[in-house]
Amino acid sequence: MANFSILVFLLLLFTTNTFSLQQEIELLKMTQTQVSQIMNNLLGKLGNEAMLVVDDHSHQNYSSTSVALRDCANLYEESEYRLSYMMNSMNSSYYYYDNDDALSWVSALMTNHETCLDGLKEKGYVGAHDEVLENGNLTMLLGQALDLYAKRKGKAKPKAERAFSRSSSNGGIMLASWNPSTSKADFIVSQDGSGTHRTIRDAVEALASRGSKNEERRIIYVRAGVYHEKVVIGPKLQNVMFVGDGMDRTIVTGSRSAADGSSTLGSATFDISGDGFWARDMTFENTAGPRKHQAVALKSGSDFSVFYRCRFRGYQDTLYVYANRQFYRDCQIYGTIDFIFGDATVVIQNSDIYVRKPMSSQSNYITAQGRENPKKPTGISIINCKVRPTSDFVTSESSIKTFLGRPWKKYSRTVVMKSDLDGLIDPKGWGPWDGEFAIRTLYYGEYMNYGSGASLRNRVNWPGFHVLNSANEASPFSVGEFLQGGRWIPASGVPFSSGI
């Protein structure tokens, strides 16, 4: 049950049309307190199992309880870090973030909380789940914070509150033009020992121990090779840039999966939380295969992240666009079921999407967007991409159906625009999750797609499906509007089209 003082405070906010700065600070402070209490209560309740909550890179077998607990602890630690940053910024002489930032970050906090609850349910640990639900009603606090920032969206902010420049920290470094022959890297990973480190993990640990300021852009150059590693870029490692020797030459690979005891989160070969992450000319893959079910190649919760000329290869749940604002350009994404999924605000532009052969009893779903609150700014926008089957799928049985997506959560939101859709796309276009779940509350849209799979004649007649008929209708999902990309993508030097 929620604390009485929290209920009184929330009632006061609910009955007023304006929020003072002090009320905003108090709301975030209460939220921060609840996050800390939940984390402490979980660890205390589970006793010795809490010792397993570490940043683990091994293949050690954990009980389902400890796997769920470890995920929750990591998620709430990320939330604590984000809330501390917001509080410190608000107590300074001027904001270091604006309303769009706050809306994205509070949405990510909600995603962390929802993901913890889902994971505990999935593993059947009712006790820990109840402890989270009953502790101060974090869901109510986050919902009120989201409502606050959603109401402010689009309103002008004082100049002082927009003073922070995201490009100022890069020191002229650009992802698109960085050259390993002429540019300097902080760390060089090479399996033959000719660099500073032989493994990516060692380079990341060295970077973390350096203690550099988060504002500095730091570069890890990964030379050609196949790296069998699990890599974690934590929330405190910000503005990190990875460059490889090409998506065919620099490959980070793993094989963790739900079938082998990992959680979906924990299965990720490459896991990123720190803001401002950039990557170029690399492949991230999970080789677990279609029989292993959820097996993530890359998971990103990094705000202002950019991926350029990267490949993401897996089967089910390949690319976990977990939270915050993300941009993918000139990439390749391979998978079978829900292989672009999560609750980020993400644009995938000028990229190739390859549908692989699933098990004979399965259908393919390219996306599974996970928005649970209609006020979240999140969604998946696919623009000017090509959708094609892989060669082995072309020759497989034609009875396997492929859909653009299905609604993972109630307010799932995905649009596909100006893209070349192959004939493998089922005429209905979109598939159900479970019966009629979310078909009235989701938002699925298509705009000016072409190719043999783009016909709208037999598309689903769900209330939530929309045919976008003009650039004005489509523009809210553009790089410029959906991501506010003009503010932060130019610093990377990566090409992009801002409008539709």
What's the pLDDT score for residue 184?
Answer: 95
Residue 4 in this model has a pLDDT that exceeds 60:
no
Which CATH number fits the domain 170-492, given the four candidates 3.40.50.2300, 1.10.540.10, 2.160.20.10, 3.10.620.30? Answer: 2.160.20.10
d(CA 447, CA 451): 13
Query: Which strand (E) or helix (H) includes residue 383?
Result: strand 379-383
What's the pLDDT score for residue 3?
Answer: 63
Q: In what order do the strands lie in the sheet with 420-421?
A: 225-228, 250-254, 283-286, 311-313, 332-335, 352-355, 386-389, 420-421
Taking the mean position of all CA atoms in its chain, how far away is CA 455?
A: 30
Residue 473 in this model has a pLDDT that exceeds 60:
yes
| Domain range annotation of the chain | 4-162, 170-492
> What percent of the chain clears pLDDT 70, i.e. is strictly above it?
84
Model pLDDT for residues 9-31, shown as the tens digit of each residue: 554 555 555 567 788 889 999 99
Residue 475 in this model has a pLDDT that exceeds 80:
yes
The mean-pLDDT minimum among 99-103, 164-168, 212-216 falls in 164-168
By the 8 A CB rule, do 102 and 171 touch? no
Residue 410 in this model has a pLDDT that exceeds 70:
yes
Confidence of residue 289 (pLDDT cuts 50, 70, 90): very high
> Among 484, 496, 500, 477, which residue's Cα sits nearest to residue 175?
496
What's the pLDDT score for residue 100?
Answer: 94
Residue 487 in this model has a pLDDT that exceeds 80:
yes
Taking the mean position of all CA atoms in its chain, how far away is CA 359?
A: 26
Confidence of residue 154 (pLDDT cuts 50, 70, 90): low
What's the pLDDT score for residue 233?
Answer: 98
d(CA 230, CA 54): 14
d(CA 196, CA 190): 8
What's the pLDDT score for residue 478?
Answer: 99
d(CA 429, CA 328): 23
What's the pLDDT score for residue 97?
Answer: 85
Model pLDDT for residues 188-241, shown as the tens digit of each residue: 999 999 999 999 999 999 999 987 566 789 999 999 999 999 999 999 999 999
What's the pLDDT score for residue 155?
Answer: 57
Model pLDDT for residues 319-329, shown as the tens digit of each residue: 999 999 999 99
What's the pLDDT score for residue 91?
Answer: 74
Model pLDDT for residues 36-87, shown as the tens digit of each residue: 988 887 777 666 554 444 444 444 445 677 788 889 989 999 999 999 999 9
- Of residues 315 and 161, more confidence is placed in 315
Mean per-residue pLDDT, 343-366: 97
Mean per-residue pLDDT, 404-411: 99
Class of 4-162 per CATH?
A: mainly alpha
Query: Which strand (E) or helix (H) includes residue 387?
Result: strand 386-389
What's the pLDDT score for residue 24?
Answer: 87
Q: List beta partners, residue 222.
A: 189
Confidence of residue 449 (pLDDT cuts 50, 70, 90): very high
Mean per-residue pLDDT, 426-448: 98
Q: Which residues are catalytic?
A: 338
Global pTM reads 0.92
Q: Which two tokens stand for residue 364?
A: 């393919």
The amino acid that residue 116 corresponds to is C
What's the pLDDT score for residue 358?
Answer: 94
**Distant-in-sequence, close-in-space partners of 406: CB < 8 Å, separation ≥ 6:** 338, 365, 367, 368, 412, 430, 431, 432, 433
What's the pLDDT score for residue 5?
Answer: 54
What's the pLDDT score for residue 298?
Answer: 99
> Among 299, 253, 296, which residue's Cα sits nearest to residue 274?
299
What's the pLDDT score for residue 79?
Answer: 96
What's the pLDDT score for residue 41?
Answer: 78
What's the pLDDT score for residue 425?
Answer: 97
> What percent of the chain clears pLDDT 90, i.e. is strictly above it?
72
Q: What is the rounded average pLDDT for all residues in the chain?
A: 88
